[in-house]
């Protein structure tokens, strides 16, 4: 029996340079997927996967992420007076759902460093990490991607990273996992090497790490001692490689559609996919897409 995965880290301190100019003033995580910020979708996935404590690793310039999860009394009063029960319930749910706290990453020293900031709040138990750019859509019959990884952690006791297959020419954008599919279970990928963003032309795999992880406390001492990589950042991928050597690391090829919402067309795709999954928006979205296709 393994300790339960109850806590999740959401690193949100990034500058969002891929999405300028809007990210000059609005955090990428607060960009809307139809009517809710991307970060809400990530938090909802975590909560639906059994997480009860969310730890945001934030930067000084992005306080409105914290405001979003706080109570807005003025708004609540106005909605209550108007008798707008539906909206009141929706906004109250955001501030009451789960326990969310926020830490500041005081220097931009990389993803590994961001995660290490949460060590005092997590301690000696397994935990999840979710990256805000990677939205993963699942249908109503399929558990959220993080829940699938947690389930596999309970089965195996081994730390998990989410994997997708990409075109080999694209692997330079990702953590690249080399190894083999488990012949007994096609979801499991036995990793024997992990390389952060391999230079183009050196790719040895089509298995890309995307932003869902279940990690064990052994990662803490590894991260603490890890030297920065060539770009000066403490890379999570380098720590995962060491964790693989010490305890093993499993790739999990989850069910679901992952979208890179930090990319412009990916962001558009995420909006359309989300709308198609919302019963009240689905038909109008299909009609709109048909109309635009015919007109172009
Ligand atoms: C990060 C990780 C990388 C992973 C990617 C998934 O990179 O370092 O290993 O493949 O997220 O989205 P980033 O895209 O933040 O540069």
pTM, two decimals, is: 0.94
Smallest CA separation from ligand 1 atom 1, residue: 174
Does residue 278 have a pLDDT over 80?
yes
The answer to whether 62 and 16 have CB atoms below 8 angstroms apart is no
pLDDT digits (tens, 9 = 90+) for 17-41: 899 999 999 999 999 999 999 999 9
Mutate to test the pocket of ligand 1, among 14, 38, 111, 176 (most ligand atoms within 8 A of CB): 111
pLDDT at residue 87 in the model: 87
Averaged pLDDT of the chain: 94
Question: Does the C-beta of 237 come closer than 6 Å to ligand 1?
Answer: yes
What distance in angstroms lies between residue 116's CA and the mean position of ligand 1's atoms?
16
Question: Does the C-beta of 175 come closer than 6 Å to ligand 1?
Answer: yes
What distances in angstroms separate CA 4 from CA 1, 10, 49, 73, 124, one per listed residue?
Answer: 9, 18, 11, 34, 11
pLDDT digits (tens, 9 = 90+) for 120-168: 999 999 999 999 999 999 998 999 999 999 999 999 999 999 999 999 9
Higher per-residue pLDDT: 122 or 108: 122
Smallest CA separation from ligand 1 atom 12, residue: 210
Q: Which domains does the chain have, with CATH numbers?
A: 7-295 (3.90.550.10)
Residues 6+ apart with CB under 8 A from 53: 6, 7, 8, 98, 99, 100, 101, 121
pLDDT digits (tens, 9 = 90+) for 183-220: 999 999 999 999 999 999 898 999 999 999 999 999 99
């Amino acid at each position: 029996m393994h300790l339960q995965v109850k806590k999740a880290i959401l690193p949100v301190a990034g500058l969002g340079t891929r999405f300028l100019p809007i990210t000059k003033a609005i955090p990428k995580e607060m960009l809307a997927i139809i009517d809710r910020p991307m970060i809400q979708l990530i938090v909802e996935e975590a909560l639906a996967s059994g997480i009860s404590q969310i730890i945001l690793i934030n930067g000084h310039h992005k306080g409105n992420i914290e405001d979003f999860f706080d109570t807005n009394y003025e708004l609540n009063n106005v909605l209550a007076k108007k008798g707008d029960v539906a909206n009141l319930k929706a906004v109250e749910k955001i501030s009451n759902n789960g326990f969310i706290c926020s830490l500041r990453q005081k220097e931009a020293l990389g993803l590994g460093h961001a995660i290490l900031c949460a060590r005092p709040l997590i301690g000696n138990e397994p935990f999840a990490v979710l990256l805000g750019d990677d939205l993963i859509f699942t249908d109503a019959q399929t558990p959220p991607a993080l829940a699938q990884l947690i389930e596999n952690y309970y089965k195996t006791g081994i730390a998990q990273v989410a994997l997708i297959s990409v075109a080999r020419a694209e692997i330079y954008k990702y953590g690249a996992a080399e190894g083999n599919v488990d012949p007994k279970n096609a979801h499991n990928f036995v990793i024997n090497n992990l390389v952060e963003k391999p230079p183009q032309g050196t790719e040895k795999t089509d298995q890309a790490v995307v932003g869902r992880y279940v990690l064990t406390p052994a990662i803490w001492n590894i991260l603490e001692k890890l030297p920065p990589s060539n770009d000066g950042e403490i890379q999570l991928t380098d720590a995962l490689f060491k964790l693989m050597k010490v305890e093993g690391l499993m790739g999990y090829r989850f069910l679901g559609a992952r979208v890179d919402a930090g990319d412009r067309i990916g962001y558009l795709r995420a909006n359309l996919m989300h709308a198609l999954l919302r019963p009240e928006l689905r038909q109008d979205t299909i009609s709109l897409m048909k109309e635009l296709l015919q007109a172009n």
